[in-house]
Amino acid sequence: MSTRSDGRRRGIAAAGAALAGVVAYDLVQRRHAILRNFPVVGHLRYLLESVGPEVRQYIVTSNNEERPFSRDERAWIYSSSKGRRNTFGFGTDNEMEQIEGYTIIKHAARPLADPAAGAAGSAPDFALAGPKVLGGAHGRRHAFRPASAVNISGMSFGALSGPAISALNRGALEAGCWHNTGEGGLSTHHLQGGELVLQIGTGYFGCRDARGNFSLEQLRERVAEGPVRAIEIKLSQGAKPGLGGMLPGAKVTAEIARVRGVPAGVDCLSPAAHSAFSGPDELIEFIELLASETGLPVGIKSAVGEQTFWDELTARMAQTGCGPDFITIDGGEGGTGAAPLVFTDHVSLPFKLGFARVFGTFARAGLQDDIVFIGSGKLGLPANALIAFALGADQVSVGREAMLSIGCIQAQRCHTGHCPTGVATQNPWLTRGLDPADKALRATAYVRALRGELGRLARACGLTHPALTHPDQLEIIGQGFRHLTLTEAFEYDPAWRELSPARRAEIEATAGVPG
């Protein structure tokens, strides 16, 4: 009897020691934030993930359900960010002819050679620079050509954790792209070497006086702190257009308060509208003031609602020759911020509709070549990004997809402060699980993979750069097997996307594959 008892005790002790070993390993390893934050229990997620395709044969959820990003979309991002094989087998599981709005990319009869033909795994990193010089049309002192046509969108320190911001900035440095600060100000986490676009929101965080008004002196100080290459004035964003925002006081730590220039522990409000200007004329004056004082290209970011603003802005730019150097259009389906459901579901146009309307407004005035157009709003997936380029975008910015690349699991708890992966929280225990050095490698790999797939898609269409894609090269499936090219669907004048030989040669010179 005692022998059995001793055996049980030894077995329990061995199991306890093994469990303690797993806990210890989980707490010190740095590759998986889930395991660092939830030792032992976190392994269940990876087990379920590994057998997911087999289990889903008997469970109703398909690869294209779950939103905002489907299982297939997340799988592509995760595989790409980890440098693993991101190809899929056994054909598509999409009912291509029956999905209204489904996009078809029409490949060329004589595509360009794929430098990775015959190679397994991820596409090579195509060196896809921005096809236009940012600030060149308006003669800004520090005009420049962006090194990458794929960049990281604005996500504020406060909404995202310090380690997450650090990982994204380090990743941007290695990927050779820029990193937008978001409206929460410029923190030390942004200063890991990656080039920056400094975003100014309605709260003027980081560049405000004691009363919360815009301060040009504070802006100069922020620009001098880091490698700021451009300034973006945020009018609105896809997650909550026309609403403003609120960072709860519980999230306003002493560090965030210092960066934003607000009291610690107090709700931090972003008003719905700017106080430094009102209307297109004053907006243009404000842009020219910032450009004159800093020498930097200055642009705007906005979701698209009523058309009058864009008509008036275009008319005044045509008359004065002044205005934004770039325009970032955010789709209503985009955005990382928390908002009332009715705003996320119903306020502002989705990206394709919004971008097409704005681009068409400027194209009718003959201004499309004077502005760098940037697309944002779930464009971190290759097919979506190519649509943006075909409609006239010169660059795309990625937000939530970049979050997924550094560990986000789409738990959709961003607004609660309890993000389990440490990406969208200020909880010290949860943020400690996110290792910036490791996650930076994943952000880099993801950006390179997206550029690689865009390069491959362009070459399949007989082009060297996705910005050369014409809207006639993509079709959208409608009901009853009807189909429209993007030119037809969005009522584009074909001349808007016709390029002169010189312009085409300029774009082709920005594309290449590193040796």
The 3 state secondary structure assigned to 381-421 is CHHHHHHHHHHCCCEEEECHHHHHHCCCCCCCCHHHCCCCC
Domains and CATH numbers, the chain: 14-81 (no CATH), 150-508 (3.20.20.70)
For residue 307, the surrounding DSSP H or E stretch is: none
CB 125 within 8 A of CB 456: no
Report which DSSP code applies to 109. S
- pLDDT at position 54 is 45
Q: What angle do CA 259, 421, 93 make, to 5 degrees?
A: 125
Buried b (16+ CB within 10 A) or exposed e, 241-253: bebbbebeeebbe
Collapsed DSSP state (helix, strand, coil) of residue 179: strand
Measure the CA–CA gap between 116 and 103, rounded to whole angstroms.
25
What is the pLDDT at residue 458?
95
Adjacency order of strands within the sheet including 483-485: 103-105, 474-477, 483-485
Instruction: Tell me what pLDDT residue 229 has.
Output: 98
- β partners of residue 330: 303, 376
| 198 SS3 class | strand
Q: Which residues contact 294 (CB under 8 A, 6 or more apart)?
A: 142, 219, 220, 223, 231
What average pLDDT values come out for the chain (515 residues) when binned by 10 residues?
Answer: 68 70 75 75 65 50 69 91 85 76 93 70 78 96 97 94 97 97 95 97 94 96 96 86 78 92 90 94 98 98 95 98 97 73 84 96 96 96 97 97 93 84 91 93 96 94 96 90 92 92 91 65
Residue 58 pLDDT: 44
pLDDT computed for residue 118 by the predictor: 47
Name beta bridge partners: 234.
Answer: 301
Place of tokens 């320190």: 157
Burial 430-446 (b: 16+ CB within 10 A, else e): bbebbbbebbbbbbbbb
Please give the DSSP secondary-structure letter assigned to residue 271.
-
End-to-end CA distance of the chain: 72
Q: Distance of CA 347 to CAs 242, 306, 344, 377, 484, Å?
A: 8, 11, 6, 14, 26
Give kind and range of the element (H or E) at residue 268: strand 268-270
Cα(231)–Cα(142) distance, rounded to whole angstroms?
A: 12
Q: What's the pLDDT at 27?
A: 75
How far is residue 176's CA from residue 227's CA, in Å, rounded to a whole number?
13
Whether this prediction's pTM lies above 0.75 is answered by yes
Residue type, position 85, single letter: R
> Pairing state of beta strands 103-105 and 483-485?
unpaired
